[in-house]
A and B are shown apart, each in its own frame.
Chain A
Amino acid sequence: MNDALRILPEIILTLAGVLVMIADALLPKPSSRKSLGWLAVLGALAALAVSFWQYQLPAGTAYYGVVQTDAFSVFFHVLIAGIVLASLLITLDAVTPETEGLGELFALMLFGAVGMMLMSSAVELLLVFVALEISSISTYIMAGFRRKSAKSPESALKYFLLGSFATSFFLYGIALIFGATGTTRISGIADAIASANPSTALLYVGLAMVIVGLGFKVSAAPFHVWTPDVYEGAPSPVVALMSTGPKAAAFAVLLRIAYGALPQLHADWVPILWWLAVISMTIGNLGALRQRNVKRMLAYSSIAHAGYILVAFTALSADGVAAASFYAVSYAAMNVGIFAIVSHAGGYDDHLTLIDDYRGLAWRSPLLGGAMTFFLISLIGIPFTGGFFGKFYVFTAAIHSGMVWLAIIGLINSGIAAFYYLRVVVALYSRSSEAAPELVVARPSIALLLAIFITSAATLILGIAPGNVLDAARAAAQTFTSVGQDAATPPSTSVDAVSTGR
């Protein structure tokens, strides 16, 4: 029973998903399936509440040590429950009663969240793999949900084929790590590396392959290629979920593997992640510059934001882990928020998604325009938003660990980012052009208002009073006892190196 408490949010989400499916089957054919969405929302709310409640559990493992609830996994449980809650609300707003397969869509969102949550709490690579597949396969399916359009199935296909391709690399990596250490438990791997003298060649190569697989899932460049195409084709409410949830979960896994299983090898994975961070930030921001489609632009921006989170990874300190976790939250808040508006404005069938289509939106609907501006400002990283503090912590942590160049590159990138975000802001507040059709904006539904309220409140709170979330993130970081040792010595020498013109 005690074991079940440790996976209670997952159980609740599964039950809610099953309930949605059963209700879907029981409801008479012609009636609207939208009520199922509210059922799913209830399930997500319950999961969110239980996730919060899990903070009271003493840290520990369950089911013979395959899952572990600790401050880290509970932190991500709460985050993922929040994401899926907001995404469900966005979906409720975007779909019409006639939309096909609504029941399945809501159930898939809930089931996907089960996988994401398990990813964050799994300490056995086998469970990580199964959970990763749950989250991935459900997103593959959801990406292709708009079957009538030409783009949506293509998006699903690209995501599916390339995702499975990357998963094979991930699996091979696990196999090699297993070959080197003889175990697939996170703690076992760390022990094996610390006590025995495992074959380092296998470990290195295994580690690299694991990073390939997870790098794909978090859309870190150069493994990002799928992202713009998939985001463009997938239904917008689904993108709200899949650009944040699986990403956060994959980052949780990456953090757990890097800091939990392979802390001894940090000299090897830090440079890799260093480069991934630089390339991701640069490619993401440069790629976004040219985009005329808002969803593609946001896809590139999500690549860039993955880069910022990776910056925190390399900091090799409790602060770094906390910053990465914090950034995941603030990114989720603002990105889900902006997709709430994109999906409302563009509709489930994405009839208008170009930046030019957004011209004058703010004058026709001040609420949507204002909210979108706020999220864009947060994405740029202006103070009093979650986006600013996310970047602030990330770069503070990086500089604290002597990554001065990384921080400089990151800041230059966040400057470039202002260009393309501002383009949308300018479009929002300019006169709509005569040539382009006007974006017809329906009245926002209660669900959308709720979603916007949740995400904008979260973004604002993260910017003004981030104390609680930051404490939670720091508590999460403390889970990895190995971190912090490296950060004990301030890297004054390296900082001086900059000033002397290195």
Chain B
Amino acid sequence: MVPIAYYLVLSAVLFSIGVAAFLIKRNIITVFMSIELMLNAVNLAFIAFSRQWSQTTGHLQVNGQIFVFFVMVVAAAEAAVGLAIIIAVFRARNTLNVDQIDLMKL
């Protein structure tokens, strides 16, 4: 028996680590991975909330889980596009370091 709040806290922890990773990582691909981590954290929250509402209402609620399903689909699509963009950037600039992708500023 585990309080659902623990799952939620775990999701908050993962989300914040995701944010921190986005801020720290220099490699664009890893930066993109940290976004995936954030999305996973959100998924966990959805599933936890879905479970919570099943208990509150007394019968199975799958809305939150469906949301997760869609997030996965979107994440897959985003991954395809994102990695294509990364490849395009790499070809144009020959670097994968985010700190060097700052041609446009001010």
Contacts and interface: CB of A to CB of B under 8 A. Distances in A.
Interface stretch (A33-41, A177-185, A408-416): A177-185
Contacts of B106: 290
Please classify the interface of chain A as helix (H, G, I), strand (E, B), loop, or mixed, using the class held by over half of its residues.
Answer: helix
A16 B28 CA distance: 35
B70 to A, nearest CB: 6
A182 B61 contact: yes
A144 B88 contact: yes
Interface stretch (A129-137, A310-318, A370-378): A129-137
B44 to A, nearest CB: 9
A435 interface: no
A160 B81 contact: yes
Interface string A126-154: 10011001000100110010011111111
Interface in B23-37: 28, 31-32, 35
A229 B103 CA distance: 9
B42 A151 contact: no
B52 A179 contact: yes
A371 B84 CA distance: 38
Nearest to A173: B42
Contacts of A149: 92
Interface string A158-181: 101100110010011011101100
Contacts of A184: 63, 67
Given A176-B45, A178-B63, A130 B56 contact: no
Interface string A54-87: 0000000000000000000000000000000000
B35 A178 contact: no
B39 to A, nearest CB: 6
Contacts of B78: 133, 137, 164
Contacts of A174: 67
Interface in B45-59: 45-46, 48-49, 52-53, 56-57
Contacts of B77: 133, 137
A141 B93 contact: no
A263 B64 CA distance: 23
B66 interface: yes
B70 A130 contact: yes
A157 B31 CA distance: 11
A232 interface: yes
B85 A156 contact: yes
Given A137-B78, A168-B18, A161 B32 contact: yes
A158 B97 CA distance: 13
Interface centre among B81, B84, B91 (most CB of A within 10 A): B81
Nearest to B4: A179
Contacts of A126: 66-67, 70
Contacts of A176: 45
Contacts of B82: 160-161, 164
Contacts of A133: 74, 77-78
Interface in A272-304: 290
Contacts of A369: none
A179 to B, nearest CB: 4
A244 B47 CA distance: 35
Contacts of B48: 179
Contact of B85 (A130, A140, A148, A179): A140
Contacts of A151: 103-104
Interface centre among A164, A182, A183 (most CB of B within 10 A): A164
A157 B38 CA distance: 18
A337 interface: no
A155 interface: yes
B88 A171 contact: no
Contacts of A307: none
A398 B69 CA distance: 42
A228 interface: yes
Contact of B46 (A155, A157, A178, A228): A178
A82 to B, nearest CB: 27
A245 interface: no
Nearest to B46: A175
A157 B102 CA distance: 11
Interface of A: 126, 129-130, 133, 137, 140-141, 144, 147-158, 160-161, 164-165, 168, 171-172, 174-176, 178-179, 182-184, 228-229, 232-233, 290
**Minimum-distance CB pairs A-B, first 3:** A179-B49, A168-B38, A229-B104
15 contacts: A129-B70, A129-B71, A137-B78, A141-B85, A153-B93, A154-B103, A157-B28, A161-B28, A161-B35, A171-B39, A175-B42, A179-B52, A182-B56, A182-B61, A290-B106
Given A129-B67, A144-B88, A184-B63, 14 more contacts: A129-B70, A129-B71, A153-B85, A153-B93, A154-B104, A156-B89, A160-B81, A168-B15, A174-B67, A175-B45, A175-B67, A184-B67, A229-B105, A233-B103
